Amino acid sequence: MRHYAARQREGRDDGTSGRWDYTVRHDDATFRVGYCYGEFDRAWPEQPGVIELTVYGDAEAYQAARARHLEHAAKYHAGGHATREEACACYLAFVLDHEIRYVAGHDDDAEALFRCEAPGCRTHTSGGAVWSGTSRQFDLCQAHRTRETVASLIGSIGESWCS
């Protein structure tokens, strides 16, 4: 079972005790995730190692994934955050930048249409957005298939558990 949450650093010799990171705890190990993972080159080394090749299958797939993250390289950091809320907001930014996939609908010939989930919208659509790695999906018309709409529907990030 994995437990995602903002956690406060303890017992650090580098002056960052008391700072907050968004993390995942799995078994007895805790890892920083998202932009809190550390500096970009630590999170995404130029040359893939054994772990990266295991995850991505080959160097070409790894380099393609690294290139997608490179646009946001400046957001990766190692210094932590002053508050739990800042760490959660940092992970939300990571989710919006990397884990939301927008799906264009084919409303003219779709078998089913669903009401757009954007507040006040009454448009029916077969398109939306999917949060990769989760079961969360959002039915969104073309006008509302945006980062801002998805952010408002997610609201805030807190704790979560998954297996």
Q: Are 87 and 6 in contact (CB under 8 A)?
A: yes
User: What tens digit of pLDDT does each residue of 3-21 get?
Assistant: 999 999 988 778 788 999 9
14 vs 96: CA distance, rounded Å? 30
Q: Give me the pLDDT at residue 62, please.
A: 96
Structure tokens at 10: 């303890």
pLDDT digits (tens, 9 = 90+) for 114-136: 999 999 999 999 999 999 978 89
Spans of all domains in the chain: 99-163
Element housing 154 (H / E) = helix 147-154
In the predicted model, what is the mean pLDDT of residues 127-154?
94
- Provide the pLDDT confidence category of residue 111 given band limits of 50, 70 and 90: confident
- The residues, ordered by sequence, that sit 6+ positions from 159 with a Cβ below 8 Å of its Cβ are 3, 4, 5
